[in-house]
Structure 1
Amino acid sequence: MSTRSTSPEKWALCVVRCCLHLPQLFSTCVAFSLVTDMGIGKGAIGNWSLCLWGFCFTVTLITSITELCKVQSCFPFFWNNFPVTYACYAALVCLSVSIIYSVTYIQFLPYGPHRDRAIAATAFSCIASVLYATEVACTWNGYKIMNTTCYVLTMPGLLKVLETFMAGVIFAFLSNTSLYLHQPALEWCVAVYSICFILAAVTTLLNLVEWEHRLPVKAVITMLSVLLYISALVLWPLYQFNEEFGGQPQRSSDWDCRDELTYDMCTWDQRLAVAILTAINLLAYVADLGYWARQVSVGTEDQPRDS
């Protein structure tokens, strides 16, 4: 890492982060408290949202205390990378919770106190997402001023964040094992999601600790992930929505979706969600592969030179 920054510049960035951490803590805490106050009326989606808001609040609090106490050196990861990486994930997490919670839960709630609390919690979750995104933008600008390199604030770094995040959302839907068990083709899709997630996560972690590796390794890993995701994009919809392979082409054919009193996503909706997320993540991997292909063609990739 190369840094040519002065102490005032570092201090200014730290102050900006701390000023953003306070409203982030407030927003996630309020969203968590509002849904918790709903009691048994919060539903399974509410419990899932509570876990994510609580996680964001906890990590933001730990990050704030670490920076205020100036004990960053006690952590194994390079601190210039960790806060902005977490902020990227937190922005995506809060945004996804806001969307999923409103689409799959709030719209089915009857008018009343529970619905009002759920709407307010979603609003604060959206605010938290904007605040985390603002922290990423401020850090990006600050690092440019200080001439500080950061893997996450590069095109491949941002794509890796998106790839691992989308895989995490897919895993949340796959917690319903009835979607794929006893069907080898669908179990293969789950294996694809797991393998690609591990490869992307390991690549991200190695780059966060500034482990240098050559371009062919990155290109091969990305190419492998693209091929695996193509197979999943073909097999998952084929075996989930084609009657010839035991799928259900119509939403009305799923008995879970006929129950209008339930506040949770029915099985058919979960199948569709995984298919859409698979397509989105495949596009991210294709963009990642395109980036590395361009790096090869123009020869701009920095590689260790033999002396």
Structure 2
Amino acid sequence: MVHLDFKALISPVGIVRMSEFVLTCTCFALVASAGFVNFGLSHWSWCMFCWCFCCFMTLLIHILEFTNLNTKVPISWEDFTTAFAMLAALMMVTASIIYPTFFACSSCSRQIGASVVSWLCFVLYAVEVWLVHKRPGEISGFLSTVPGLLKILETFVACIIFTSLDPVEYKKFPGLQWCVAVYSICFIFSLLIILLTIARLLLVFPFFFDVLVTVCNALAAVMYATAIVIWPLYVFKQNPRPVQCNHCTWDDLVVVTFMTFINLLVYITDTAYSVKLVFFSHHEQEE
């Protein structure tokens, strides 16, 4: 039977989540009423997805905790809510930057209002990350560690890369297709680790799982190192920025290049942390 927990509504986390739901709903309502322009369709779609996805997931989490159905879900609930709050905070900060950059102007009241509300959403999700992390409860551990946070960041940066990719551009050269393969393979690996952690399936793997993750992180760093060289080499070759470029597709090529560099740094950091935890921390514990 469903047992209603009214404390979930009046707790600090509950109040923050209700505020998030209202504000994200307000964001996509303002943006939907303002419409979009064709040249920025992919960016508009990404921002709308961020607000709609966070609004729906926040409401779902709130309902599950209010009805205590979250205790029936066979996942690590604290890991799941922590991971979602961190992901939502990242999504809100990118939407808050992208939307006003492409669509706001001095006379666009609804666009400006949506941008301001979106920044408030980011603040609320950042507060939720802190509240959920500090709340006592069952936490499997990985997503609360530095490598776990880096895994979430890796998947998010890859999503930004995917939204900026233009098939017309990367289909021109096999080297660019290799870069897209790098982004996809590394994204799938990081996402798989997150899902396995939330689903409590890490114990299914043998004891060397940490070593396997470390090796995969190292391989991902090497693959991204090749992409950071190949992508700008091919995509900007004989392709200068158009004179009449106002947030044109050429700018998306720059975004992909920058995000590739960011993810390379993240994977290098992830590899370094993994090596430290697996080889040095375990060795110190044995001594």
TM interval, short-chain normalised: 0.7 to 0.9
Q: Is the 1:151–1:208 Cα contact (8 Å) retained in structure 2? A: no
CA distance in structure 2 between the aligned counterparts of 1:91 and 1:291, rounded to whole angstroms? 23
Q: Which amino acid is 1:299 matched to? A: S
How far residue 302 of structure 1 moved from its aligned partner, in angstroms, is 11
Three-state SS of the structure 2 residue aligned to 1:252 is: coil
CA deviation after TM superposition for structure 1 residue 267, in Å: 1.6
Equivalent AA in structure 2 for residue 251 of structure 1: R
Task: Give the whole-Å Cα distance in 2 for the aligned partners of 1:141 and 1:64.
Answer: 18
8 Å contact from structure 2 (residues 8, 66) kept in 1: no
Do structure 1's residue 131 and structure 2's residue 131 form an aligned pair? no
Asked if 1:16 is matched to 2:6, the reply is: no
Structure 2 unaligned regions, length at least 5:
1-6
SS state of the match for residue 81, structure 1?
A: helix
SS at match of 2:30: helix
- What percent identity do the matched residue pairs reach? 34
Q: CA deviation at 1:12?
A: 7.9
In the TM superposition, what is the alpha-carbon distance from 1:52 to its structure 2 partner? 1.8
Alignment of 1:96-135 (within 5 A): 96-106=94-104, 109=105, 111-112=106-107, 115-135=108-128
Preserved contact between residue 44 and residue 99 of structure 2 (Cα < 8 Å) = yes
2:221 is aligned, of 196, 220, 226, to 226
Does residue 142 (structure 1) correspond to residue 132 (structure 2)? The answer is no
1:156-214: CA deviation from partner (whole Å, max 9, x where unpaired): 1000000000001111112x211201310001100000000011111111122331452
- Counterpart of 2:262 in structure 1 is 280
State the partner residue of 2:24.
Answer: 28
Instruction: After TM superposition, give the deviation of residue 13 of structure 1 in Å.
Output: 11
Instruction: Mark the CA change 1:57 to 1:302 in structure 2 (over 3 Å): closer, same or farther.
Output: farther
Partners of 1:302 and 1:19 in 2: how far apart?
43
Alpha-carbon offset, residue 16 of structure 1: 2.1
Counterpart residue number, 2:179: 189
TM-score under structure 1 length normalisation: 0.82
- Is the alpha carbon distance of 1:203 and 1:14 closer, same or farther for their aligned partners in structure 2, counting shifts above 3 Å? farther
Does 2:88 match 1:90?
yes
Contact 2:85–2:129 (8 Å) recurs in 1: yes
Asked whether the equivalents of residues 16 and 124 of structure 2 are also in contact (C-alpha less than 8 Å), the reply is yes
Tell me the CA shift for residue 77 of structure 1.
2.2
Once the 2 structures are TM-superposed, how far is the Cα of residue 22 of structure 1 from its aligned partner?
1.1
- In structure 1, give the amino acid aligned to 2:154: E
How has the CA–CA distance of structure 1 residues 195 and 52 changed in structure 2, closer, same or farther, with 3 Å as cutoff? same
The 1-side partners of 2:85 and 2:163 are apart by 20
Q: Shift of residue 66 of structure 1?
A: 0.5
| Paired amino acid for 2:88 | A
User: Is 1:216–2:207 an aligned residue pair?
Assistant: no
**Is the 8 Å Cα contact of residues 13 and 142 (structure 1) preserved in structure 2?**
no
Alpha-carbon distance, 1:139 to partner: 1.3
Task: Return the letter of the residue paired with 1:160.
Answer: K
- Contact 1:179/1:267 (<8 A) preserved: no
CA RMSD of superposed structures (Å): 2.4
Instruction: Say if 1:296 and 1:67 are closer, same or farther in 2 by CA, change over 3 A.
Output: closer
2:149 aligned with 1:151: no
2:62 matched residue in structure 1:
64
From the superposition, tell whether residues 236 and 14 of structure 1 become closer, same or farther in structure 2 (CA, over 3 Å).
farther
